[in-house]
Amino acid sequence: MADAHATVLDIPRAETTTETGRRAGDLAQFTELLTRHWDSAYRYAYHLAGNAPDAQDLVQQAAEEALRAYRRFDPNTHFDRWLLRIIHNSYIDKVRRERRRPMFSLDEIRTPLTDTDQTHDPEAAAEFRLSGPALRALMALPPEFRAPVILVDLEGFSYDGAAQVLHCPVGTVRSRLHRGRLALREWLRPHLDALRSGDG
Amino acid sequence: MTEAHPSDVLSGYLDAALSPQQAAEVAAHLAECESCRAVLGDLQSVRAVLRAVPRPSPHPALLPRMLARLAAGRQREAFLVRWGVTVAVMAAAAIAILFLPLAPRPSAAHNGTRYFRQHAEMTQTLPIPDVSLPSYLSTPLPYHPAVDEVREWR
């Protein structure tokens, strides 16, 4: 699979000698890299957290942590994978802290959508689309299975890229992705059948 | 491969993430196993559904706000570092000013002559013609086997 995220850092590090100069150079480079990968970082945070406010908190917290740790970032590696790993770790820490995460019942996932769910508010309609059956089923997956599915199927990472983000072997990514997809297949079976018959 | 169902590698096969040999083995199994073909079809459908999920966009103001916050944080850190250094230097100076008069002073008997007295004692104990530092350091140590005569001489 072609990796859509092959963006090794191509910005030279600042060659200033003073600490203030180095910090200013770091901030400028970090700003450029963060801007380049902001949308991807937000999407990953959104699909992990399951809602926009938590995603905003998560991505902001991760960006601050990434800037603090930026001196340790290896410029010969992929910034987006590094940033997504920080987001992932922040999310896992948050889940462990709170000891809870939003859960959806499988009955809710299987419930067919009705006209009463529709709305004329564009923002609400967008939210409605985002919280469709697939996303609700995705949120019902445990984080360790959800993360590879998000990275590979939603964000287009290669197995190798996902393994770098998740800091685990490629075989683990392949196994968890497969099990995640199998769980989604069961929960989304009515929608998949509709898709196959041409109604989806 | 045709005996056991290649469960975990079906997703890898779907994503073309297997080695050529593994892919060939899975393909051979799929040619004979209808249930695995059905699973592969389901996985393909799941992947298609996931790929069609709308991509949420961050609020347009989120990134500028974030960058402003990061820049402000850096300025605050730099300010705190500068003031920390300044305060540390001032504290050290204040301590020096306060406690320097209390430090013991050399007695009048030793004042100004201590170095020469020590020098005289040392040259008496170690009668080396040149007691300058380079010469002293280049002199073999007394316990060195090559300088027994020095030890006896002492």
Residues of A in contact with B17 (CB under 8 A): 1, 158-159, 174
Residues of A in contact with B67 (CB under 8 A): 31, 34-35
CB pairs under 8 A between A and B: 120
Residues of B in contact with A135 (CB under 8 A): 53
Q: What integer best gives the mean pLDDT of chain A?
A: 78
| Closest residue on chain A to B67 (Cα) | A31
Please tell me the distance in Å from B53's CA to the nearest CA on chain A. Answer: 7
How far apart CA A188 and CA A130 sit, in angstroms, is: 15
CB atoms within 10 A of CB A101: 17
**Percent residues over pLDDT 70 in chain A:** 68
Q: Where are the domains of chain B?
A: 1-74
The pLDDT tens digits of the residues spanning B49-81 come to 888 888 889 999 999 999 999 888 888 877 788
Inter-chain CB proximity B74 and A31 less than 8 Å: no
How far apart CA A41 and CA A78 sit, in angstroms, is: 13
How far apart CA A68 and CA B73 sit, in angstroms, is: 10
pLDDT on residue B110? 57
Does A171 score more than 80 pLDDT? yes
Q: Is the dihedral of CA B108, B112, B117, B119 positive or negative?
A: positive
Please tell me the distance in Å from A127's CA to the nearest CA on chain B. Answer: 9
pLDDT on residue B96? 85
| Rounded average pLDDT over A35-56 | 93
How far apart CA A124 and CA B86 sit, in angstroms, is: 54
Please tell me the distance in Å from A176's CA to the nearest CA on chain B. Answer: 9
pLDDT band at B83 (very low <50, low <70, confident <90, very high): confident
The pLDDT tens digits of the residues spanning B99-133 come to 777 766 666 555 566 666 766 777 777 666 666 66
Please tell me the distance in Å from B130's CA to the nearest CA on chain A. Answer: 45
How far apart CA B74 and CA A68 sit, in angstroms, is: 9
| Rounded average pLDDT over A15-37 | 76
Q: B21 and B9 in contact (C-beta within 8 Å)?
A: no
How far apart CA B62 and CA B33 sit, in angstroms, is: 51
| Rounded average pLDDT over A12-33 | 70
pLDDT on residue B74? 81
Does A172 score more than 90 pLDDT? yes
Instruction: Tell me the three state secondary structure of residue A58.
Output: helix
Domains of chain A: 1-102 (1.10.1740.10), 104-200 (1.10.10.10)
Inter-chain CB proximity A185 and B54 less than 8 Å: no
Inter-chain CB proximity A27 and B11 less than 8 Å: no
In this prediction the ipTM stands at 0.72
